[in-house]
Amino acid sequence: MPPHGAWRETARRAGSKGRLGVTGASLIEPERETILCEAPVRPEGRFVLYWMQQSQRASFNPALERAVEYAADLGLPVLVAFGLTAFPEATARHYDFMLRGLAEVRTALARRGIGFVIRREPPHRLVHRLAEDAALVVCDRGYLRIQRAWRAEAAKGLNRRLVQVEGDVVAPVETASDHHEIAARTLRPKLLRLLDRYLHDLPPRPVAHPAGPGLPVSDVDLDDIPRLVAGLRVDQAVGPVRRFTPGETAARERLAAFAQSGLARYGEDRGRPEAGVASQLSPYLHFGQISPVEIALAARSAELPDGAAKYLDELVVRRELAVNHAWYAPHYDRFDVLPAWARRTLAAHAGDPRPHLYGRVQLEAGETHDPDFNAAMLEMTATGYMHNALRMYWGKKILQWSASPEEAWETALALNNRWFLDGRDPSSFANVGWLFGLHDRPWGPQPVFGTVRSMGPNVLKKFDAAAYRRQVSELARAEAPGAEPRPQAR
């Protein structure tokens, strides 16, 4: 991919003047849209191609609705294409969740008269192949290196216009801020000012020309996902989980349940893992199976000012701070992305004796002296999720008990991305970074941590740790082979 700066130069905001001129009023704010390849629109094409990659959903999807708008204007059907390929660190657990979600997308699109094709091919190559018959290509936006590289490759040498529509954040990343933010407190006021502009409904646009026969067909069988996943060359040791039912419908059900029962207590109890008030929507957000705007609207309309404000702070400010980090710090996954003060103090304390010393194998197996750490590790490996309060404790202990801060960084990132369903996300890199001082400030000095914020056993006194450990045992039992299938966990 081109260097970061060059990538930004090749992309041009569609803006009002630069909009393709093939459509009238749009439901999508112009600043969500960027032309990645200036090649002409070819109205003689057979369809408008939407290359779906990040926004894996059939509704409340700005890129999809924009493709539908263009197609209506051109008198063409829409074809959605997905390229199934290797994604760094993705496991059988991740592919199972994603593919089940895509099976639902296929069905939901068919109901709207929109075609869907999935092929085992790197997405940019699939785009080049299918673009031959397309009038233009629309894609969604991702912020990680590989997602940027795919889009840069797709734009290179394409002889159709390629338009990117940014639909998995509330505020487009460059509209929110034009630089790498140092903390939530610097980004928060900018985002809050933009909420009213971006928090609005996105009803499905009517599909004027339904997809008929003769469109390209899939070479991937979404009707037998276990077989499909078993045949992928990915880490098969990390298997699917029952705790989270994949897909848009499940995401909406979870949102509805959260709005009804969790949100009211979120302000007060969000720090207590055993209280069950967290939304558990992060896996769905990671795979684009639900829009953050849809979630934020539901939270706002619940008229629970305290819970909603706290929730929106996590969903919008914290989440979009992570996106800001991934976008403006291209080395988001490297130890040297940390602020200089944090690297200096960690280096100064690198030789401090550790109260306990564990390597990755012991940590991953949950074989430490600390039953709360071990329970958190079990929740992660068995169910693919962990509450935020435990994630902080878990990660700070890895820093405290590893031989060096660099080793801790490698271990925390590797475990995070291997086991969490929401791993390999901008939020993964920003939050693992936070363990080491990113987006934070210096605190009183401590052994090993230096002035990076530490976390001791007092954190565990803020909630019922014994109840949490019992819950984890139950959750892990429900994941064991042969356990009864259970309804969605709350």
Single out the residue of 244, 314, 200 nearest to residue 94, CA to CA. Answer: 244
Other C-beta atoms closer than 10 Å to the C-beta of 359 total 12
Q: Could you tell me the smallest distance in angstroms from the CB atom of residue 398 to ligand FAD?
A: 9
Q: Could you tell me the smallest distance in angstroms from the CB atom of residue 119 to ligand FAD?
A: 28
Q: Could you tell me the smallest distance in angstroms from the CB atom of residue 141 to ligand FAD?
A: 17
Please say which residue, 12 or 490, places its beta carbon nearer to ligand FAD. 490
Return d(Cα 386, Cα 308) in angstroms, integer.
Answer: 21
DSSP string for 377-440: HHHHHHHS---HHHHHHHHHHHHHHSSSHHHHHHHHHHHHHHH-TT-SSHHHHHHHHHHTTTT-
Residue pointed to by tokens 């419908």: 249
Beta strands at 134-140 and 115-119: parallel, antiparallel or unpaired: unpaired
Identity at 133, one-letter amino acid code: D
Return d(Cα 204, Cα 58) in angstroms, integer.
Answer: 9
| Residue 439 within binding range of ligand FAD, rule CB under 6 A | no
Please say which residue, 26 or 427, places its beta carbon nearer to ligand FAD. 427
Site stretch for ligand FAD (CB under 6 A), options 85-93, 218-226, 282-290, 480-488? 282-290
| Residue 286 within binding range of ligand FAD, rule CB under 6 A | yes
Please say which residue, 140 or 320, places its beta carbon nearer to ligand FAD. 320
Please say which residue, 47 or 244, places its beta carbon nearer to ligand FAD. 244
Identity at 48, one-letter amino acid code: V
Q: For ligand FAD, which residue of 431, 440, 450, 471 counts as binding (CB under 6 A)?
A: 431
Task: Return the ∠ at Cα 337 (arms to 333 and 342), rounded to 5°.
Answer: 125
| Residue 114 within binding range of ligand FAD, rule CB under 6 A | no
Please say which residue, 267 or 442, places its beta carbon nearer to ligand FAD. 267
| Residue 280 within binding range of ligand FAD, rule CB under 6 A | yes
Q: Could you tell me the smallest distance in angstroms from the CB atom of residue 393 to ligand FAD?
A: 9
| Residue 168 within binding range of ligand FAD, rule CB under 6 A | no
| Residue 427 within binding range of ligand FAD, rule CB under 6 A | yes
Single out the residue of 283, 248, 232 nearest to residue 424, CA to CA. Answer: 283
Task: Identify the burial level of 29 via C-beta atoms within 10 angstroms of its C-beta, where 0-12 means exposed, 13-18 middle and 19 or more buried.
Answer: middle
Q: For ligand FAD, which residue of 124, 148, 205, 318 counts as binding (CB under 6 A)?
A: 318
Residues 367-426, interacting with ligand FAD (CB under 6 A) = 387-388, 391-392, 395, 416, 420, 422-423, 425
Q: For ligand FAD, which residue of 81, 163, 278, 376 counts as binding (CB under 6 A)?
A: 278
Site stretch for ligand FAD (CB under 6 A), options 156-164, 272-280, 357-365, 444-452? 272-280
Other C-beta atoms closer than 10 Å to the C-beta of 248 total 23
297 to 316: interface string for ligand FAD, x by CB under 6 A: -----------------xx-
Please say which residue, 144 or 228, places its beta carbon nearer to ligand FAD. 144
Return d(Cα 372, Cα 395) in angstroms, integer.
Answer: 12
Cα 471 from chain centroid? 26
| Residue 54 within binding range of ligand FAD, rule CB under 6 A | no
Answer yes or no: are the C-beta atoms of 432 and 329 closer than 8 Å: no
CA 461 to each of CA 358, 370, 455, 457, 458: distance values in angstroms, whole numbers, following the listed order: 24, 14, 12, 7, 5
| Residue 273 within binding range of ligand FAD, rule CB under 6 A | no
Binding site for ligand FAD (CB under 6 A): 270, 278-282, 285-286, 314-315, 318-319, 322, 387-388, 391-392, 395, 416, 420, 422-423, 425, 427-428, 431-432, 434-435
